[in-house]
Amino acid sequence: MRGMVPLEGQEVLVELRDVTKTYGREPNVFVAIERVNLRIQAGEFVGMLGPSGSGKSTLLRIIAGLTLPSAGVVLYRGQRLVGVNPHVAIVFQTFALFPWLTVQQNVEVGLQARGVPPEERERRALELIDIVGLDGFESAYPRELSGGMRQKVGFARAMAVEPELLLLDEPFSALDVLSAEALRGELVELWLGHRVPIRAILMVTHSIEEAVLMADRIVVMDKDPGRVVDEVYVDLPYPRHRKDRAFQAMVDRIYAVVAGETEAPPEALGTAPGIPGPTVALPEANMNAVAGLTEELLEAGNREDLPRLAERLNLELDDLLPVVDAAEILGFARVRRGDIALTPLGETFAEASILARKEIAAGRILRIPTIRWIYEELQADPDGRLPSGYFLERLRADFGEYAEEQLSIAIGWGRYAELFSFDDATDELFIEAPVPTPR
Ligand code: ADP
Ligand code: MG
């Protein structure tokens, strides 16, 4: 049965032996990944977590045969991989659909490239379109579809070629929270129900919760150089629920692996440090405290022991952690073995004028899906105003009783960055001023 691991006696699909990938030439060689050993067996859903730049995408490309390793061996079913791997398909964060092709034609693209005859192409495309729940949209064009639906077309296209191994590179992180959660559930159902002939899945994600929700095994990577640092089996039965105690315990355990010695405050669950995932909960920290933290770190020479920092700021460690978390999510700081250090961006932020800080903050917080969603909804509204209940209702689906708290944190951050604000008199959120959407 799927979901019960470790698997014994299953075929090994992929095996990486001491795979290293470097870019550049002497004396400017950059080690993207170093001596990675990894096996993926039939029947496994493997999650891969790691900070940005830890070589996750590089590893996927190597497995797909799109990039050659600089050293080490890639085996597929025991054979050395030569050229593009015909047994895999990749789904990226945003799937490049051809705007001039219909949904069905987009799904058929991969089959056409493999020389599948037209009737067979049509049959398989229609079946997959049905499986991913796009029945009725066969002749629609990408522009007529929501982001979630477009990503479904991407999944259908990848699955149409019947890959043995499906590689997913942060496939949900460009979607709004609700579409992402729906699509996650559908993928798990397809997988568990054997509705597609996929034998194994390797999914890169930034979100610890997403990995725990879906994977049987989680491979944890770190960077400088990119490498595998740990591996955890997720022996929870499906369907998994985020609110379950065992689920939360597993998330905590993986958080501890990912964050070294940082204790996970509950507000920080659902994201790897520094990188917001699709359902990231905002830590209860205000932006002025984050700014204060970066200033204090700058003064301390960019690095400080967390307990000592709490002392300097005259805070309890517990009160400091959400602020530290916010700084990590925004990409201003990183925590390593109880030490916090500013990133180059955090340094820039700490040294910037108030106005420049707001701009930096705006760019960063708009990467957080919840905030981006609020901002885009307000922008789409002709008056740039919407009642808070409108947002709360949808946040409740993800955050339940914490929806109010989340909305109020989001408003605080939005205010700081002058993206949007809250009108007490009318109970509405409104756009502060037109700000160009950063890329
Ligand atoms: P991740 O997906 O974990 O964010 P990547 O695999 O994209 O990491 O990248 C790992 C490291 O390799 C990064 O530091 C990135 O800048 C570097 N890198 C990736 N591709 C190239 C390339 N074609 N040339 C030079 N450096 C690269
Ligand atoms: Mg990547």
Q: Are residues 207 and 236 in the same domain?
A: yes
pLDDT at position 183 over 90? no
Please, what is the Cα angle at 298 between 295 and 299, to 5 degrees? Answer: 90
| pLDDT, mean of residues 4-21 | 83
> The domain spanning residue 425 has which CATH number?
1.10.10
CA atoms of 155 and 161, how far apart (whole Å): 11
CA of 60, closest atom in ligand 1: 6
C-beta 226 within 6 A of ligand 1: yes
Q: So what's the pLDDT on residue 158?
A: 92
Let me know: does 97 contact 134? Beta carbons within 8 Å: no
Q: Are residues 197 and 87 in the same domain?
A: yes
| pLDDT, mean of residues 208-230 | 93
CA of 61, closest atom in ligand 1: 6
Q: Are residues 205 and 316 in the same domain?
A: no
Let me know: does 344 contact 332? Beta carbons within 8 Å: no
Q: So what's the pLDDT on residue 131?
A: 87
pLDDT at position 174 over 70? yes
Q: Are residues 159 and 240 in the same domain?
A: yes
Nearest protein CA to atom 24 of ligand 1, as residue: 23
Write phi, then psi, for 15 (nearest 5 degrees): -135, 125
- Final residue belonging to a domain, choices 203, 226, 259: 259
165-169 and 200-205 beta bridge pairing = parallel
Let me know: does 334 contact 341? Beta carbons within 8 Å: yes
Q: Which of 217-221, 366-370, 397-401 has the highest mean pLDDT?
A: 217-221
Distance (angstroms) between ligand 1 centre and the Cα of 102 equals 33
Distance (angstroms) between ligand 1 centre and the Cα of 224 equals 11
Q: Are residues 376 and 303 in the same domain?
A: no
In a domain, residue 232? The reply is: yes
Q: How many helices (H) and strands (E) does the chain have?
A: 15, 16
- Final residue belonging to a domain, choices 355, 386, 417: 355
Q: Are residues 101 and 191 in the same domain?
A: yes
Q: So what's the pLDDT on residue 7?
A: 61
pLDDT confidence bin for 439, thresholds 50/70/90 = very low
Q: pLDDT per residue over 24-73, tens digit each?
A: 888 889 999 999 999 999 999 999 998 888 999 999 999 999 999 999 99
In a domain, residue 1? The reply is: no
Q: Are residues 172 and 290 in the same domain?
A: no
76 CB-side CA count, 13 A: 16
CA atoms of 108 and 117, how far apart (whole Å): 10
Nearest protein CA to atom 21 of ligand 1, as residue: 23
C-beta 23 within 6 A of ligand 1: yes
Tell me the angle at which helices 354-365 and 403-416 cross, rounded to the nearest 10 degrees. Answer: 140
Let me know: does 438 contact 431? Beta carbons within 8 Å: no
pLDDT at position 414 over 90? yes
pLDDT at position 333 over 50? yes
| pLDDT, mean of residues 234-247 | 91
pLDDT at position 396 over 50? yes
pLDDT confidence bin for 257, thresholds 50/70/90 = confident
In a domain, residue 128? The reply is: yes
Candidate from 23, 49, 56 with most ligand 1 atoms within 8 A of CB, to mutate: 23
Closest residue by Cα to residue 17 from 75, 73, 58, 59: 73
CA of 204, closest atom in ligand 1: 2
Nearest protein CA to atom 5 of ligand 1, as residue: 55
Cα 175 versus chain centre, distance: 10
In a domain, residue 351? The reply is: yes
Name which residue leads in pLDDT, 278 or 321: 321
In a domain, residue 3? The reply is: no
Amino acid, res. 287: M
> The domain spanning residue 109 has which CATH number?
3.40.50.300
User: What is the percentage of the chain residues whose pLDDT exceeds 90?
Assistant: 53
In a domain, residue 4? The reply is: no
Nearest protein CA to atom 25 of ligand 1, as residue: 23
Distance (angstroms) between ligand 1 centre and the Cα of 33 equals 9
The DSSP code for 240 is P
30-41 and 12-23 beta bridge pairing = antiparallel
pLDDT at position 103 over 90? yes
Q: Are residues 92 and 233 in the same domain?
A: yes
Tell me the angle at which helices 388-399 and 177-192 cross, rounded to the nearest 10 degrees. Answer: 30
In a domain, residue 49? The reply is: yes
Distances (CA, A) of 344 to 29, 60, 347: 21, 28, 5
pLDDT at position 140 over 60? yes
- Among all bound ligands, the one having the nearest atom to the CA of 62 is 1
How many other CB atoms are there within 10 angstroms of residue 208's CB atom? 29
Closest residue by Cα to residue 397 from 279, 259, 308: 279
Q: So what's the pLDDT on residue 17?
A: 97
Q: So what's the pLDDT on residue 378?
A: 93
Identify any residues that bridge with 45 across adjacent strands, giving them in sequence order: 201
Residue-averaged pLDDT of the chain: 86
Q: So what's the pLDDT on residue 273?
A: 35
Count of domains observed in the chain: 3
C-beta 224 within 6 A of ligand 1: no
Q: So what's the pLDDT on residue 279?
A: 56
Answer yes or no: pTM beyond 0.95: no
Closest residue by Cα to residue 271 from 327, 211, 208: 208
User: What is the percentage of the chain residues whose pLDDT exceeds 70?
Assistant: 91
Write phi, then psi, for 18 (nearest 5 degrees): 50, 45
Question: Among 7-11, 96-100, 209-213, which stretch is predicted with the lowest mean pLDDT?
Answer: 7-11
C-beta 29 within 6 A of ligand 1: no
- Final residue belonging to a domain, choices 355, 380, 403: 355
The token pair at 352 is 């910037």
Q: Are residues 162 and 242 in the same domain?
A: yes
Cα 296 versus chain centre, distance: 30
C-beta 220 within 6 A of ligand 1: no
In a domain, residue 211? The reply is: yes
The residue whose two tokens read 């009783």 is: 401
pLDDT at position 207 over 90? no
How many other CB atoms are there within 10 angstroms of residue 309's CB atom? 21
Q: So what's the pLDDT on residue 259?
A: 64
Identify any residues that bridge with 303 across adjacent strands, giving them in sequence order: 341
pLDDT at position 418 over 50? yes
Question: Among 191-200, 288-297, 398-407, which stretch is predicted with the lowest mean pLDDT?
Answer: 398-407
Distances (CA, A) of 418 to 12, 323, 384: 52, 20, 14
Closest residue by Cα to residue 229 from 35, 434, 66, 13: 35
Edge-first strand order for the sheet with 217-222 is 88-91, 165-169, 200-205, 45-49, 217-222, 227-233
pLDDT confidence bin for 141, thresholds 50/70/90 = very high
C-beta 205 within 6 A of ligand 1: no
| pLDDT, mean of residues 414-425 | 92
Q: Are residues 87 and 107 in the same domain?
A: yes
> The domain spanning residue 307 has which CATH number?
1.10.10.10
Q: Are residues 89 and 48 in the same domain?
A: yes
Q: So what's the pLDDT on residue 260?
A: 58
Q: pLDDT per residue over 79-93, tens digit each?
A: 999 999 999 999 988
- Among all bound ligands, the one having the nearest atom to the CA of 226 is 1
pLDDT confidence bin for 276, thresholds 50/70/90 = very low
Name which residue leads in pLDDT, 290 or 317: 290
Let me know: does 327 contact 293? Beta carbons within 8 Å: yes
Name which residue leads in pLDDT, 436 or 245: 245
431: containing domain: 267-281+368-439
Q: Are residues 297 and 319 in the same domain?
A: yes
Nearest protein CA to atom 13 of ligand 1, as residue: 53
pLDDT at position 193 over 70? yes
180 CB-side CA count, 13 A: 25
pLDDT confidence bin for 270, thresholds 50/70/90 = very low
